[in-house]
Amino acid sequence: MITKKITPILSLLLIWGCTQKELPILSGTSCDNVISEANIEHPRHTDLQQLLQDLVRDGLPGIQMSIRQDGRNWNGSAGKADLAGGQDLLACDITRVGSTVKTFTALTVLMLQEEGKLTLNDPVRDYLSPAQLEGLENADEATIRQLLEHSSGIYNYILNLEFQTASLNDLTRVWQPEELLAYARGKSATFAPGSDVAYSNTNYILLGQLIEQIEGKAFYEIFREKISEPAGLEYTRFAATDPVPESIIRGYVDLYSKLEVIDATHYSGWDYFTADGGLIANAHDLALFMETLFTGSLLSDVSREEMLSWKRPSGSNFELFETDFGLGIFRMNTPYGAAYMHSGDAIGYYATMFYFPQQQTAIAWAVNGNYGKLDQFSQSREAMERVFKTVFEE
């Protein structure tokens, strides 16, 4: 009897379950791709475009790249901005660039020092309340500099497995900074402040709060006033004001390592309100930012020197190249010489930006796919060498 009653219910559930939800098609990018007009003037333009097409043919959904070299700029793209709608990815499209924002955060803090509003050796507790630092081991002793160079030892909330599973459990959840910091509270520090370096997103959430405390407004407003507008970063914005802009390219994840991707455009909700991620930009703006940071007037020479003071993690086993930690920036020893860089992931997106001081060249690329098998094409050592070789070798 019960069997007869339950069978139709089970069947209905199964049929309902087999129904896939429809995805909205990208509304259409409105960007006028003027930034690619001068591409032909770059001596490697054919090779660079071929590289992007090869990367897409290897498995990336889409990629955009920007090179600023010898006064000549190249901004290219290949692949799709939206797999469902078949829309081509353009160099002017906007995308998520994740943790590259940490360089913006560090630059802002250095600017505040130049304005006399803080000094890097001040303890963080001078600016943030005991409630903000409660339960974060080392936060009472750590200085602003130690947050910037990841030498505070404060636990990285992203490594907390409870956070990782909670994030997967509710993919469209929008997280507030306090909710993220809760995953670091009560966790043991990695080492004593200043004794080593280890990447921790928690440091940069605190720095965002510190900037807001000093300036009395949202940290991303300060980024806009101090960095984006003066540097002419026309495409750059922060997720907090519009987390998923209509014109943002779709992001995809290869969650099961099979080159079978699903749309993850709405899955980066932990990234919207903190200074450790959440930047929306494109490869063009990231390359322009790096060029301006290292050759322009955003920062004094003294502050730039301070930013480029390096620490190497102990017991390093480098996945990519030998890497040293600066203030919101890394130095990688590549086969083409030292490069200052930062990269960033969001769910479905990856971006990276480099500046090669010897060659005075800025390189940035952004892709709308990550995890699983996709990462090898955009963020592995081999992928980076492939790009550098195309840019630097005749």
Partner 1 sequence: MKWKLMYLGICWLAFWSASTAAAQEGNTLRISVFNESTSIPFTHVLNTPVHPGIQVGTDLNWKNGDHYRLYPSISVGYLFHRDLYQAVYLNLELGYDLQFDFGLNLKSAVGLGYLHTFNVQPEFQFEDGSYRQGKDRGNARLMPSLSLGWGYRLQPANPRSPEIFMMYQSWLEYPYSPGFIPLMTHTNLHLGINIHP
The residues in 10-39 that bind partner 1, with binding defined as CB under 8 A, are: 10-11, 13-15, 17-18, 20-21, 23
- The set of residues, in sequence order, having a beta carbon less than 8 Å from that of 145 and lying 6+ positions away, is 120, 121, 151, 327
Distance CA 249, CA 80 (A): 9
Q: How far is the CB of 66 from partner 1 (least distance, A)?
A: 24
User: Looking at 68-76, 126-134, 197-205, 262-270, which segment touches partner 1 (CB under 8 A)?
Assistant: 262-270
319 binds partner 1 (CB under 8 A): no
H/E segment holding residue 69 = strand 62-69
Packing angle of the helix pair 45-58, 381-392 (nearest 10 deg): 160
Q: How many residues bind partner 1 (CB under 8 A)?
A: 46
Least separation in angstroms between residue 185's CB and partner 1 is 15
User: Nearest-CA neighbor of 144 among 226, 60, 206, 88?
Assistant: 206
Q: How many residues does the chain have?
A: 394
Q: How far is the CB of 377 from partner 1 (least distance, A)?
A: 11
CA distance 342 to 149: 13
Radius of gyration of the chain measured on its C-alpha atoms? 22
CA gap 268, 277 in Å, rounded:
10
Taking CB atoms within 8 Å and a gap of at least 24, the contacts of 175-181 are 175/269, 175/270, 175/272, 175/273, 176/273, 177/205, 177/208, 177/209, 177/273, 177/274, 180/205, 180/270, 180/274, 181/132, 181/136, 181/157, 181/205
CA distance 103 to 275: 10
Query: Is residue 328 exposed (0-12), middle (13-18) or buried (19+ Cβ within 10 Å)?
Result: buried
Of 16 and 394, nearer to partner 1 (C-beta) is 16
| Residue of 63, 65, 83, 366 interacting with partner 1 (CB under 8 A) | 83
- Cα distance between residue 310 and residue 264, in whole Å: 36
Closer residue to partner 1 (CB): 177 or 369: 369
- Report if residue 51 touches partner 1, rule: CB under 8 A: no
Q: Which is nearer to partner 1, 192 or 262 (CB)?
A: 262
Residue 40 — φ and ψ, nearest 5°? Answer: -65, -20
Verify binding: residue 84, partner 1, rule CB under 8 A: yes
In the complex, minimum distance from the CB of residue 161 to partner 1, in angstroms, rounded to a whole number: 6
Stretch that binds partner 1, among 53-61, 120-128, 145-153, 272-280 (CB under 8 A): 53-61
Q: Point out which span in 94-102, 141-149, 194-202, 365-373 binds partner 1 (CB under 8 A).
A: 365-373
Query: How far is Cα 83 from Cα 372, in angstroms, rounded to an integer?
Result: 18
Told to check if 272 binds partner 1 by CB under 8 A, we report: no
Stretch that binds partner 1, among 137-145, 222-230, 233-241, 253-261 (CB under 8 A): 253-261
CB of residue 382 to partner 1, shortest distance in Å: 15
317 touches partner 1 by CB under 8 A: no
Determine contact, residues 142/120, Cβ cutoff 8 Å.
no
For residue 313, the minimal CB distance to partner 1 (Å) is 23
Task: Confirm or reject binding of residue 40 to partner 1 (CB under 8 A).
Answer: no
Q: Which of 139, 261, 320, 353 binds partner 1 (CB under 8 A)?
A: 261
| Nearest distance in Å: CB 56, partner 1 | 8
Site string for partner 1, 195-234 (x = CB under 8 A): ----------------------------------------
Q: Tell me which residues touch partner 1 (CB under 8 A).
A: 1-3, 6-7, 9-11, 13-15, 17-18, 20-21, 23, 56-57, 59, 61, 80, 83-84, 161-162, 165-166, 168-172, 252, 255-257, 259-263, 267, 371-373, 375
